[in-house]
Structure 1
């Protein structure tokens, strides 16, 4: 019997690891399916391949799945997200010139203090008619929303005090080197590559902005999910197996070897390995700094598609597209994330399954036990840097209180 094939689009990023490892290490084959990775260079191309049927699923920035469902920038195509491919794993990297100007050190600093120094410079540059410019990977990306959330939280007005433009991850270090941007917010290994090339200095890990921020997801057309439900559940199980292996002791070296290959990331193995093992080199030639949970996988049901994560992303879409909150759009955004598929796929396994599909985001300062329908579940600290919490049932009040 021929295995069902999933062509999965991806960008050359460390957090594309799970579909690649599920393919390379046999987790897909064990579930009776096959994965064919399809490498692209921009998120727009990944999206277009998916919606026009050239791929079956995609490694995708979470907000883009929601924007595609809602018809932002193009006609709407409903997508479904049955699995989260990882939390965090991004960084904000300044050009070496900007890093020196704001006084960055060889340690990860406090987001508020770095922000205060950046605000003084941003104000001066804006007054001179030459505002600072930051690059993000897509308008509808967690990178864009994390960067904007931090900037606004320290008193810097995105689109007024600073410019924010789009640059593809593989070209982010080039943009810094050319002086096209003063800073980038991008996934690994491209921050590390900028540092290793001597053109960047990592200022913050995005985990410092939101400790458990949702990042990449597995996205597919909602119609395909309905048509191939059993195969999709097998794919979820394969990715879950790959996630468990990814965090297993001793697995990092093998994972880095695979991901660094030309057909995948085509990147220095050491930069890939550092990201996998939560080590960040902040400055050229510096010793890598260990930052726990820089790239968060598997534990605490990290791959579960919480609808409250989708709701937060929608709140930022409303905020930064300068839209009015719409209950119908909010519901459609939430329903893009499909915890029901995740639960169905992993029922009867050893995976902890949350009992709820939504939760207060940013409300935990320390680990706490959480209700589950299967297994024991602990959720860790998930604070936002400014101490705010997000109630997915009261988005309008949340938006009204933001700076």
Structure 2
């Protein structure tokens, strides 16, 4: 009887596997940058999730920063890549490369911080900075800039800061944080891109006063005693989108089964990462390897294990610093993608009006994600459109609400903006409306990355 049950079980398993069509291309190359949020790609490789899908994947560390990643995806050297959420949008618009790229899924929420060196922190402390406050505002930086301008007059030297790429979350977060206190990022400061692993050395060399970057490159500076992490991107926008898995649209069309197989493997890895803190500790071991992030485990542990190191010697609880699957972190919300377009307008990166809804529906693929989610038991939110800034674990530093139906108003409803396109012109190009639905805060896959175990529904 037992043998018969086993045979039946094996038969059902074989039938289930044959329902999934074979991938068109099995030998793949996926590019990544040495950051902790490459973890889903690393885990999909190391835990055999790619292999289980019949894929032979080379997960390649890119040494040329985000521009190198983008160039190689567009040229076809990389079939898929770890990408900043704004990159496929910008490439499709022709302002960051020129190719129709698509965001297939979100790799994570949060994961960044703004870290300043000791010199600028000392100046800010003279103007009221308390670096133990949560969240820290940029008010003291604004006061220091005003005093510096008054002293230097026409010979004012703008402060220099680093971020990883012009269309990165990091650039927009740094600007958002500054602008919410009245700082004009393009007049009061110089903001320059650097590859993430080079941020600490540039700060120590005095090339920049501070930067916004992902981990482990904030903890590196704090542990060295050379600065402090003032604010995380979770502090700026609770549970904000960070990286995506991107590919060329024509590759996706030509290789739909390959694409879905990669997505299944990555989502399984994301679920595994949030299943337990023990899994996170195992992931830290993989990420520390030379061919991945190549950082000491104790540095990686500062953020991946549910804490975050704002100041040396003081580990602060921050379970949501890295979220990979919980709270719909893997889902590519249209509304998240559109937020990046508003920032491209706000900071003068787009000089022509576009239909933002049509653009995002061309780049983000929640439709394809929904197909794959059913195959790997990933729960879907009630809609691809939602508001942000309205829920307990989804708020902005300045109390603003992001409603995609008011996208044009949102661009201009701030103290500081540099839009090259007028509100009236943008309104004419965006006469659509969408129905938004709010998902509940839930952790479907485990306690890691979850605000509190009481939200775990597994």
Q: TM-score, normalised by structure 2?
A: 0.80
Distance across 2 between alignment mates of 1:194 and 1:271: 10
Match of 1:147 among 151, 174, 179: 174
Give the direction of change, closer, same or farther, for the CA distance of 1:108–1:272 in structure 2 (3 Å limit).
farther
Describe the superposition over 1:181-215 as per-residue Cα deviations: whole angstroms up to 9, x where unpaired.
11110000000111122222110011100101110
- Counterparts of 1:178-193 in structure 2, within 5 Å, are 178-193=205-220
Number of the residue aligned with 1:232: 259
**2:330 alignment partner, SS class:** coil
How far did residue 356 of structure 1 move? 1.1
**2:241 alignment partner, SS class:** coil
Number of the residue aligned with 1:109: 134
How far did residue 327 of structure 1 move? 3.3
8 Å CA contact 1:318, 1:325 repeated in 2: no
Number of the residue aligned with 2:398: 386
**1:389 alignment partner, SS class:** coil
Unaligned runs of 5+ residues in structure 1 are 367-380
Distance across 2 between alignment mates of 1:236 and 1:333: 19
Match of 1:49 among 56, 66, 72: 72
8 Å CA contact 1:137, 1:185 repeated in 2: yes
Describe the superposition over 1:258-288 as per-residue Cα deviations: whole angstroms up to 9, x where unpaired.
001001111111111221113222233x132
Match of 1:278 among 306, 311, 315: 306
Return 61-70 or 30-39, whichever deviates more.
Answer: 30-39
**1:243 alignment partner, SS class:** helix
8 Å CA contact 1:19, 1:35 repeated in 2: no
Unaligned runs of 5+ residues in structure 2 are 1-21, 416-458
Distance across 2 between alignment mates of 1:182 and 1:318: 26
Distance across 1 between alignment mates of 2:134 and 2:398: 15
Q: How many residues align?
A: 384
8 Å CA contact 2:338, 2:356 repeated in 1: no
- Counterparts of 1:340-351 in structure 2, within 5 Å, are 340-351=367-378
**2:185 alignment partner, SS class:** coil
Return 341-350 or 263-272, whichever deviates more.
Answer: 341-350
8 Å CA contact 2:85, 2:168 repeated in 1: yes
How far did residue 389 of structure 1 move? 0.8
Larger Rg belongs to: 2
Please tell me the root mean square deviation across aligned C-alpha atoms, in Å. 1.8
Describe the superposition over 1:375-396 as per-residue Cα deviations: whole angstroms up to 9, x where unpaired.
xxxxxx2111111111112211
Distance across 2 between alignment mates of 1:85 and 1:34: 20
Number of the residue aligned with 2:248: 221
Match of 2:113 among 85, 88, 91: 91
How far did residue 236 of structure 1 move? 1.1
Distance across 1 between alignment mates of 2:100 and 2:405: 22
Distance across 2 between alignment mates of 1:334 and 1:101: 46
**2:225 alignment partner, SS class:** coil
Number of the residue aligned with 2:411: 399
